[in-house]
């Protein structure tokens, strides 16, 4: 079965590379025609994954109308999914569409699968998420991810089609838990970056990670997620990776905030929009999420870093 990867950023390109290495034909769609032509000619995504070659069974194109595939991997940023599907969703009718992004839509409050379902009612929505860096996947380093799809039979089919020798997929039907784990950990990663950037120390980062995980569990379970999903790859696993490595854009973004430095505006930081969307969700659900709330307030310039730290440290003492 052929596979289309829609989005030629680092993660989309890495997925195309690893799946193609197993012998499956892959079409990689890039929005920019010049970029697509360059990748097709040079067999490399020099902008995002320099030094990693595209297998010969990866075809790069900017012509989405020419793409025919049994499975579509949607590798565009969360905040762009709705607009992308409004423009191209009709071409994906009836297909499984696997979102390869993490976040909550700022306008609708939907996660990836609900956004897909609203735009493409006949499609089968799924999400691929978990602890991973694109460069590791592209280089063939061992990586395990969560594949979430509400249809168990389709989840099994997608798991078999997308797993490779180095990319191991674990399936679940809990799309809510998988999506919220991936989205919320980005917000906590920003907070951890701020903690280290502001010089508060490793012990403080451990506290933020731990209390952040409690927030993730609190809201997710209130919205119907299963506890074991948050304890798995798409929750705790992704949190551990993203909060401890400067390869993480969300952590690096927080690091720059904490240091008072600028950050590359060309890099997508999913957690920035997600923090604002989740803070609103938490208020509506009546869920207590102090770390998420102060991250959102800092991003909206309602609090300084110092005021955010003071707000968290002055909270009432309580049982864990």
Q: What's the CATH code, domain 3-173?
A: 3.40.50.720
Q: Please check whether the domain covering 180-313 is classified as CATH 1.10.1040.10.
A: yes
Question: What is the rounded CA–CA span in Å between residue 250 and residue 190?
Answer: 5
pLDDT in tens, the chain (320 residues): 789 999 999 999 999 999 999 999 999 999 999 999 999 999 999 999 999 999 999 999 999 998 988 999 999 999 999 999 999 999 999 999 999 999 999 999 999 999 999 999 999 999 999 999 999 999 999 999 999 999 999 999 999 999 999 999 999 999 999 999 999 999 999 999 999 999 999 999 999 999 999 999 999 999 999 999 999 999 999 999 999 999 999 999 999 999 999 999 888 899 999 999 999 999 998 999 999 999 999 999 999 999 999 999 888 888 88
| Residue 185 is among the residues annotated as catalytic for this protein | yes
- Please give the pLDDT value at position 104: 94
| β-bridge partners, 98 | 73, 126
Q: Which residue, 32, 34, 27, 31, is CA-closest to 69?
A: 27
In the chain, where the domains are located: 3-173, 180-313
Q: Which residue, 254, 268, 294, 246, is CA-closest to 79?
A: 268
Kindly state the helix (H) or strand (E) to which residue 6 belongs, with its residue range: strand 3-6
- Please give the pLDDT value at position 320: 84
Question: What is the rounded CA–CA span in Å between residue 99 and residue 88?
Answer: 14
- Please give the pLDDT value at position 1: 75
DSSP for 236-268 reads IIHHHHHTT-TT-HHHHHHHHHHHT----TTS-
| β-bridge partners, 72 | 4, 97
Q: Which residue, 138, 189, 179, is CA-closest to 10?
A: 138
Question: What is the rounded CA–CA span in Å between residue 70 and residue 25?
Answer: 11
- Please give the pLDDT value at position 72: 97
List 34, 95, 185, 267, catalytic entry: 185
In terms of DSSP bridges, do strands 71-74 and 26-29 run parallel, antiparallel, or are they unpaired? unpaired
């Amino acid at each position: 079965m052929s596979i289309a990867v829609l989005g030629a950023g680092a993660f989309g390109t890495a997925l195309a590379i690893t799946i193609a290495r197993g012998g499956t034909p892959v079409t990689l769609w890039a929005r920019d025609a010049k970029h697509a032509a360059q990748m097709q000619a040079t067999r490399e995504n020099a902008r995002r994954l320099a030094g990693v070659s595209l297998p010969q069974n990866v075809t790069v194109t900017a012509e989405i109308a020419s793409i025919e595939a049994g499975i579509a991997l949607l590798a565009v940023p969360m905040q762009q999914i709705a607009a992308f599907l409004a423009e191209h969703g009709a071409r994906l009718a009836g297909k499984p569409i696997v979102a390869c992004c993490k976040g909550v839509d700022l306008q609708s409050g939907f996660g990836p699968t609900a956004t897909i379902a609203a735009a493409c009612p006949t499609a089968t929505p799924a999400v691929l998420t978990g602890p991973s860096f694109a460069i590791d996947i592209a280089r063939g380093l061992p990586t395990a991810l969560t594949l979430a799809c509400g249809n168990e039979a389709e989840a099994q089919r997608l798991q078999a089609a997308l797993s490779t020798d180095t990319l191991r997929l674990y399936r679940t039907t809990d799309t809510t838990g998988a999506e919220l784990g991936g989205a919320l950990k980005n917000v906590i990663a920003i907070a951890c970056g701020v903690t280290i950037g502001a010089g508060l120390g490793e012990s403080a980062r451990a506290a933020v990670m731990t209390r952040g995980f409690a927030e993730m569990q609190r809201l997710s379970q209130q919205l119907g997620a299963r506890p074991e999903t948050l304890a798995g790859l798409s929750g705790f696993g992704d949190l551990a990776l993203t909060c401890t490595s400067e390869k993480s854009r969300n952590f690096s973004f927080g690091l720059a905030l904490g240091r008072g430095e600028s950050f590359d505006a060309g890099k997508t930081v999913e957690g920035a929009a997600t923090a604002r969307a989740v803070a609103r969700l938490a208020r509506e659900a009546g869920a207590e999420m102090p770390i998420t709330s102060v991250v959102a307030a800092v991003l909206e310039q309602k609090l300084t870093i110092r005021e955010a730290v003071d707000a968290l440290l002055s909270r009432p003492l309580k049982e864990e």
